Amino acid sequence: MRIPILKLKDCLLVSIQWELDDQTALQFQEDLLKKIHETNARGVVIDITSIDFIDSFIAKVLGDVINMSRLMGAKVVITGIQPAVAITLVELGIRLDDVMTALDLEKGLEKLQQELGD
């Protein structure tokens, strides 16, 4: 299983709608970075509204993918973080301090476009 990555203007959109297994998460990380490179994307919105539980491995992959994207020059907005996910992220010490967040995909995209000055 792979997670589709959509390109819209200079942003990439990803919606994770089912719990990820470890292999899918790593594949997603690789695919996303490759896509940022291919498309010269300046921003990424990752919507995790449908995820209401994440384990430590997935949380780490998510944290990593945000840092890696940033290194490649793309701003990341995470949208739709559920209460339980927020708790897990903080308890595991995954620091998302300087990551933008928003309520849903639409607001995330708006925020990103503001940030990118579109």
Catalog residues that contact a copy of itself under the rule CB under 8 A: 1-9, 13, 15-18, 47, 104-106, 109
The owner of tokens 């990593």 is 64
The owner of tokens 């790593």 is 26
Which residues on adjacent β-strands are paired with residue 12? 7, 44
Least separation in angstroms between CB 63 and a copy of itself = 21
Least separation in angstroms between CB 59 and a copy of itself = 20
Least separation in angstroms between CB 91 and a copy of itself = 27
3-state class (DSSP) for residue 48 = coil
In this structure, are residues 99 and 78 in contact, taking their beta carbons and an 8 Å threshold?
yes
Smaller CB distance to a copy of itself: residue 91 or 106?
106
Smaller CB distance to a copy of itself: residue 62 or 94?
62
Smaller CB distance to a copy of itself: residue 13 or 61?
13
Smaller CB distance to a copy of itself: residue 3 or 96?
3
Least separation in angstroms between CB 97 and a copy of itself = 27
